[in-house]
A and B are shown apart, each in its own frame.
Chain A
Amino acid sequence: MQTGPCVLTQAIPCTESAGLADAAALRTNQTGNAFFFRGNNMRHGKLLGSLLALTVALLLCPRQSCAQNQPDISQAQVQQGATGADWPTYGGTHLFWRYSSLNQINTTNVKKMVPAWIFQTGDYQDALQATPIVVNGIMYVSTARSAVFAIDGATGKLLWQYKHQMLPGYSPPARSKSYGLGVADGKVFLATYDDFLIAFDQKTGHEVWRVAVEDPYTCRCSMSAAAMVVKDKVVVSGGGLRGYVAAFDIKTGREAWRFYSVPGPGEPGNDTWAGDSWKTGAVVNWFSGSYDADLNLIYWGTGNAKPDFFGESRKGSNLYSSCIVALDADTGKLKWYYQEVPHDSWDYDSNWEPVLMDRMVKGRMRKLLVHINKGGFSWVLDRVTGEVVGTYPDNQYINWVKEVSQSGELVGRHDVLANESAWLVCPSNLGGKSWNHEAYSPRTGWIYVPLIEMCNDIVARPPILGVPGSAGGIWVMKPPPDHDTAFSHLDAFDPVTGKRQWSYQYKYALLASVLGTAGDLVFSGDSEGNFFALDARDGKKLWSFQTGAGNRGSSVTYLAGGKQYVATPTGWGSVSGDIMSVLWPDSDQWRLGSTLVVFALPEESK
């Protein structure tokens, strides 16, 4: 992998860590509320010391070169986790940092950034939610209805396209979408919403092979996760009645292995589902995972058990729902699993990204996996064994448990029960964080998390027999207690301790992914259509551009012709996006669309 040049960025002034003060203020505001603020209170005593240490560190360390001010992150790790000229895979690299070593665009010159080109996909059915993949200056992007475009990354010129014809008579289980593509071995891999995995010639777009991963007429299943290439296999995930992660031979398309996220009869874990409930337990896996080449393990976050809110009919812990699973990359065999939410009844699946990093914990370098669950907590796991290293809350309003212990147990659960009337569950079933991904910067050592404070009234109801896939309940989105409406914030955390470093507040919905760069920038977009850059160290907004429609995708950065570009998908939509209309009538101004907007520095500013 190529990495960008390490240059001095001495023009960046050393700032005080103002965000810590913000966090303290937030904590004070919530005192006395029935909903406790789950911030830094447990570590209050250490806060001052850390603040001092951090300030000293910032003053003493000139900000030069890559990650040298984070002594516990090795240069070898940065090589592995950061992208360089390309954005080769969904999460950036297989460690899923969504972080680029490029720094031509940085805190000093980002304010000069202007649009370089715009590409309209024409697929305006729903938001453009994909992550563009960039290899050798060529961008590959997929749209809601599984169209594929290969585009010149410097000019926006269309090189080839593929328009998918969904199966005749096919009725998808939800609104169709595609989060991205896999690119490797001279091929581009598309997981279509109607369950085909298709390989295209990377240069021409001609089809090489296709396989029906499932029969969508039967299973009411779908694929939306980006195909992920691991060695000689293409790994996809999805499901309907029964979720799976499956690998196919990169040359022939032949199935190599399949891991069902609901174990079948006779398999370990099948007895965690009462009666026949495993048959419709779902546990659909709708996002890509990460991969550790040294351990040869693939990590995947799994879906929730169905019926979502009515747990009566599926007594038991319901493995492997709401889990992180570690699979052998060659065989698909389960190496270990960790279940974050046993017997979920709030729709708190674990589908979001498993972020891999090596960090010092209590004086010992550990191979970690950091993962945020929809319920608003992050789990820090040892990715060799699955052991819990720690947990911490990301959201401010959490009431489905009293707390999650440092060893990962849910303490004081308040389950959604069938005989209860509606009660206000926080965060909502859309997640304290939606799918839009966080970013991890080895330069600050912090993880940047887009969060929404929103709750929902949930009532569980028995599903009708013979209707698999039923949610087993209804819900209505509500603001958090003592608020007129919901709100969002993008926060920087120490990913190991959960210490909040700063918080960027937003009055509407932050449903776009975060991108980190070695220019000490954090990019994301908001629902009103502003694509913006924050200073990675203090969260101050340095630049913003109105892209014309709400942002609901994943921005990336890459080099084309030696020049750095930043690309963001735009266009409001998606199920979560539309549900926001319940809380924000203004949301009808956020506008649908499906357009890539790509930025660069003007020539003279390079």
Chain B
Amino acid sequence: MIRLNAEIRAALFCALLLAPVALRAQNADQNLRHGEEVFAQTCTQSYCHGANGAAGGAPKLAGRGLTGDYIEKVVTYGITGTPMPAWGQRLPLNEVRAVIMYVQSLNGIAPSLRSGPPPALTGEAASGRELFFDPQHSVRCSFCHRVNDRGQAVTPAIANVPADAGALRNLATPQISTARVGSETFPALLSSKIPGESKVYDLTKFPPVLRTFTPAAVDLKDGNAWSHSSVLGNYSDGELNSILAFLRAAR
């Protein structure tokens, strides 16, 4: 073994002691640079926060005195009613962290390694979620069902998840009735009835149409030949099983 003199030993000891700190600082620095890159490629785009957060179509972010918690919250969850999306649902965890760190740095907040979005779905449930909302499917589940704050709430929230694809296709739909308006009839789902006004979903074509009538103008009779399977034609059994996995995971 090589004998080291006291000075070298001391220096080495210091280096070893400081290594984690240095490494962390280096990581933070990398993260910050990564955050800057992700920010440039997402947040500055087109009509949003502008280069280095100096304002574009969306508000300026640099030097605003924003707090770290606020930045973390807004980047992760977005701002309802504004174009600011919930990046926590759109970007990988490490990139969300990096962007938060970068925007914090624009407001004079030193880098930290904590913070991040809620965990995401994985595997079959994740692909089931894609299929449930898939805009490439001309008729899709989210036309009528709302899950985790996405999709249209034409029906009440899904309470029971069918066991398999077959059960999903053959799901009984006793709540669907037959509406008669003048000489016209159509499969209908009653949405609301208040004095002077009845709102029913017309399921003749998809997406469904919410139509408003005076109670006298529309006559609703129980039962209709409409079936759940009629709208699931463009999903395979495998895809429906993935969708069921998503619904179970989402509950």
Contact = CB atoms under 8 A, between A and B. Distances in A.
Interface of A: 166, 168-175, 206-215, 217-220, 240-242, 252-255, 264, 279, 308, 347, 429, 461-464, 466-467, 470-476, 575, 578-579, 581
B195 interface: no
B95 interface: yes
Interface stretch (B62-70, B111-119, B144-152, B221-229): B144-152
B129 to A, nearest CB: 10
Interface residues of B, number: 46
A215 B152 contact: yes
A476 B136 CA distance: 34
A279 B86 CA distance: 21
A209 B212 contact: yes
A211 B209 contact: yes
Nearest to A251: B184
Given A174-B47, A476-B51, A215 B142 contact: yes
A578 B83 CA distance: 15
A578 B152 CA distance: 33
Contacts of A175: 47, 57, 83
A467 B42 contact: yes
B81 interface: yes
Q: Is the interface of A mostly helix, strand, loop or mixed?
A: loop
B95 A464 contact: yes
A168 B78 CA distance: 13
19 contacts: A171-B85, A174-B57, A208-B212, A209-B210, A209-B212, A210-B209, A212-B152, A215-B133, A215-B135, A215-B140, A218-B135, A252-B202, A252-B211, A253-B209, A255-B206, A279-B136, A464-B91, A464-B95, A467-B90
Interface of B: 38, 40-42, 44-47, 51, 55-57, 78-86, 90-92, 95, 133-136, 140, 142-143, 149-152, 202, 204-212
B170 to A, nearest CB: 25
B211 A208 contact: yes
Given A211-B209, A308-B46, 20 more contacts: A169-B149, A171-B81, A171-B82, A173-B83, A209-B211, A212-B207, A215-B140, A218-B134, A218-B151, A240-B135, A242-B136, A252-B202, A255-B206, A255-B207, A462-B41, A464-B91, A474-B44, A474-B45, A578-B56, A579-B47
Nearest to A307: B45
A190 to B, nearest CB: 14
A210 B210 contact: yes
Nearest to A464: B41
A174 B46 CA distance: 10
A172 B83 contact: yes
B152 A242 contact: no
Contact of B41 (A254, A429, A463): A463
Nearest to B92: A466
Contacts of A461: 40-41
Q: For the complex, would chain B's binding face be called helix, strand, loop or mixed by DSSP majority?
A: loop
B83 A217 contact: no
B135 A219 contact: yes
A279 B135 CA distance: 9
Among B40, B47, B80, B151, max chain A CB count under 10 A is at B47
Nearest to B56: A579
Contacts of B134: 218
A416 to B, nearest CB: 13
A206 B81 CA distance: 25
Contacts of B209: 209-211, 252-254
B211 A166 contact: no
A261 to B, nearest CB: 13
Contacts of B38: 464
A211 B76 CA distance: 31
A215 B134 CA distance: 10
Nearest to A430: B47
B110 to A, nearest CB: 25
B157 to A, nearest CB: 14
Contacts of B82: 171-172
A207 B212 contact: yes
Nearest to B149: A169
5 smallest CB-CB distances across A and B, nearest first, come from A217-B150, A253-B209, A575-B57, A471-B45, A218-B133
B46 A218 contact: no
Given A174-B83, A217-B142, A218-B135, A254 B202 contact: yes
A370 to B, nearest CB: 28
Contacts of A210: 209-210
Contacts of B83: 171-175
A168 B80 contact: yes
Contacts of B208: 211-212
A208 B211 CA distance: 6
A171 B81 CA distance: 5
B91 to A, nearest CB: 7
Taking each of A211, A279, A471, which has the highest tally of chain B beta carbons within 10 Å of its own beta carbon?
A211
Contacts of B143: 212, 215
Q: Give the interface centre of A220, A255, A347, A470 by most chain B CB atoms within 10 Å.
A: A255
Contacts of A169: 80, 149
A347 B51 CA distance: 18
B142 A218 contact: yes
A524 B92 CA distance: 48
A241 B95 contact: no
B212 to A, nearest CB: 5
A240 B83 CA distance: 13
Contact of A575 (B47, B85, B149, B211): B47
